[in-house]
Amino acid sequence: MPVPLMVANWKMHKTVPEAVDLVQDLLPQIREVRDVEVAVAPPYTALHAVGKAIEGTPVELASQNMFWELEGAFTGEISPGMLRDLNCRYVILGHSERRQYFGDGDGEVARKVNTALVEGLVPILCVGETLGERDYGKTFEVVQRQVLSGLDGSVVDRGDELVIAYEPVWAIGTGKTSSPGAAQEVHSHIRGLVKSLLGEETGRDIRILYGGSVKPDNIDGLMAMDDIDGALVGGASLDAASFARIVRFKGM
């Protein structure tokens, strides 16, 4: 069983002082937690300050996005080297909000995943179906396409080099969650895919996170599922006590 991973995605929230306050509020509430890895993904502007605040703690730093080029005339973009400079370990790629509003299609996501892996960052590859796709019974097809295309051309040798997050788009920020059983079915499908693509051992060790309105009152049921190895948490991660309770899920 891989070590569970809980990732806080603060999206476009928090100024620098607010972000530092939030992480400083969180740290004492998760100090006693063992055997769960925690990462926080502040907005770019707060990465440096939050990185300083978590120095010497087991909490890892994550970025919410990244460009695939190493440097150059790409106004407004951030390179993998810039993220490594700030001690980022993880980078969220292909989040549905990036796919929906910023033109990140399967091809762009694959290039980003590939560059992150080559440059020593751990991509958190996000996949998930929209409400319409779910209603048409296309969940497995969509998720399969996004996983296969997201990893196209990438080499993954070990399970700790990649994280996949299954986030049904209809559940993100809506208060609706997939039932643990329904999420497990998709996670198990993803696990099978990565095993056939990357080998039995790597596929077994890769963390597959669930995301979409994860809250203190639904995390325990989700984490009881065999193939749910953690959560990518948006709204509930903006409150230190809520996120700390998610990190301290029952059953850990």
Question: Given the rule CB under 6 A, which residues bind ligand PEP?
Answer: 9, 11, 167, 172-173, 211-214, 232-236
Residue spans of alpha helices (H) in the chain: 16-30, 44-53, 80-85, 96-101, 106-118, 131-135, 139-150, 180-198, 200-205, 219-223, 240-247
In angstroms, give the least distance from the CB of 114 to ligand PEP: 22
Residue 157: CB atoms within 10 Å: 11
Instruction: Identify the active-site residue in 60, 129, 161, 167.
Output: 167
Which residue lies nearer to ligand PEP by CB, 56 or 175?
175
Q: Which of 143, 243, 147 is nearest to 197 (CA)?
A: 147
Structure tokens at 115: 């560059």
In angstroms, give the least distance from the CB of 6 to ligand PEP: 12
Backbone dihedral angles phi then psi of residue 215, each to the nearest 5 degrees: -140, 170
Instruction: Identify the active-site residue in 60, 95, 129, 187.
Output: 95
Which residue lies nearer to ligand PEP by CB, 93 or 198?
93
Asked about 167 being catalytic, the answer comes back as: yes
Q: Rounded distance, CA 107 to CA 27, Å?
A: 37
In angstroms, give the least distance from the CB of 72 to ligand PEP: 29
Which residue lies nearer to ligand PEP by CB, 11 or 198?
11
Question: For ligand PEP, which residue has the nearest CB?
Answer: 234
Q: Which residues of 217-245 are buried (b: 16+ CB within 10 A; e: fewer)?
A: ebbebbbebebbbbbbbbbbbbebebbbb
In angstroms, give the least distance from the CB of 185 to ligand PEP: 19
- Residues with a known catalytic role: 95, 167
